[in-house]
Amino acid sequence: MFVIQLSYISTLQVLAYRCHLPLVSIINEIGYDGTVIRGIEIELPLLFHTDVPRRFFFWSTQNLMPPHAYEDAAFQAINFLQNLYGFTIHDYSYQVIVQHRHLMRQLFSLANQGAQLARMVIGTTHNEISDSTQVLHVAEQLIQELDSIINPG
């Protein structure tokens, strides 16, 4: 098993393109005491040609190493843009996992019904007419469930 960590910086770059942000920049500032502060600067699009550029700075709130500090600041910028523009970010990999789980449950149920039908067919002799009605009923249910998986509409 392995873990994949998604980058807030790359997500912010996609959002900058989608929101037509003229500037997204990674910045460093050195304080008077010599501490390095890391962050992200964004500029919002102008509403009118005579507007003054609106720039926002997001600083890492923790004393983190450079990659983590920039990720922290990018996360803050994404939250700011979500509040401003009202968009949501969907994790399609999660949605695919949920759909896969649902399909696997359906297939497991289908396999169980198929096994039940096979047992009934094997156990039914030509003389047992009453059991053949039950076999036909289980077979019809199996076909209906299979059709619902193949054609979910």
Q: Give me the residue spans of the domains in the chain.
A: 8-85, 92-150
What are 32's two structure tokens? 């008077």
- Does the pLDDT value for residue 4 go beyond 70? no
What is the pLDDT, as a whole number, of residue 23? 93
CB 117 within 8 A of CB 135: yes
Residue 136's nearest CA partner among 119, 120, 115, 112 is 120
pLDDT band for position 31 (50/70/90)? confident
C-alpha to C-alpha distance for 34 and 120, rounded to whole angstroms: 81
Overall pTM > 0.75: no
State the virtual CA torsion across 81, 87, 91, 95 in degrees, nearest 10: 170
How is residue 39 annotated by DSSP?
Answer: E
What does the pLDDT look like over 52-104, one tens digit per residue? 889 999 998 767 777 888 999 999 999 999 999 998 887 777 777 778 888 88
Class level of CATH domain 8-85 = alpha beta
67: Cβ–Cβ under 8 A, 6 or more apart, which residues? Answer: none
Mean of per-residue pLDDT scores for the chain: 82
